[in-house]
Structure 1
């Protein structure tokens, strides 16, 4: 679980890097909230979680770890797709932002509970 989280986090890093590069080259920063969320929730948060899963393998022995991983990695792309549309002035996919946000929050609450209960 730790290595899997770290490996997927670097994909979010690459996405954030390319998005930042695009915005810089185009001098168009309307997608800055997407860039920030991909980097913070995708790269940073998943990397830290992955390191904790790797250092403390007892955290991976629970459904909470798998729930965190899948809710986070299904929810974040949905949230980002909806956010791209929302910050571009199109609210037709706002439901993706909302559903994705709830999934990420639920996943991270699984992580929080897992750490608080199972980290000895």
Structure 2
């Protein structure tokens, strides 16, 4: 699981960087929140999760790790699109998408939470 998280994290890093380059080139920083979410929920959170699964391999062997991966990666694109639409002046569509997507991402984080607390970690370090 660790490598899956790290690989997708790099994809989100490229997306975040792309949004940043777009903002700089256009001199319009309306999408700064989209940029921040792609970088923090995508690049940073997924890379850290990958490192956690690498350091504690028993976590990655549980179905909760797969749930975490898929929930996070189903919800995050919806969140990013929702935020982009919201700040592009379309709150009627953007707000519900951002809300639904972020709720799915939160479920993914809850899977990580349950996994961390159900797995004995002291034996692995």
**Is this a same-fold pair by TM over 0.5?**
yes
Query: CA offset at residue 92 of structure 1?
Result: 3.0
Q: How far is 1:47 from its partner?
A: 0.2
Structure 1: 5+ residue stretches without partners? none
Please list every run of 5 or more consecutive structure 2 residues that lacks an aligned counterpart in the other structure: none
Cα distance per residue 1:11-41 (max 9 Å; x no partner): 0000101110110111100000000000000
CA RMSD of aligned residues (A): 1.0
Q: Aligned pair count?
A: 120
Q: Which residue of 2 aligns with 1:81?
A: 81
Q: Which residue of 1 aligns with 2:69?
A: 69
Conserved? CA contact 1:56–1:119, under 8 Å: no
The structure with the greater share of residues assigned to helix is: 1
TM, length-normalised to structure 1: 0.95
- Matched residue SS, 2:54: helix
Matched residue, 2:10: 10
List structure 1 segments (4+ residues) > 3 angstroms apart after TM superposition. none
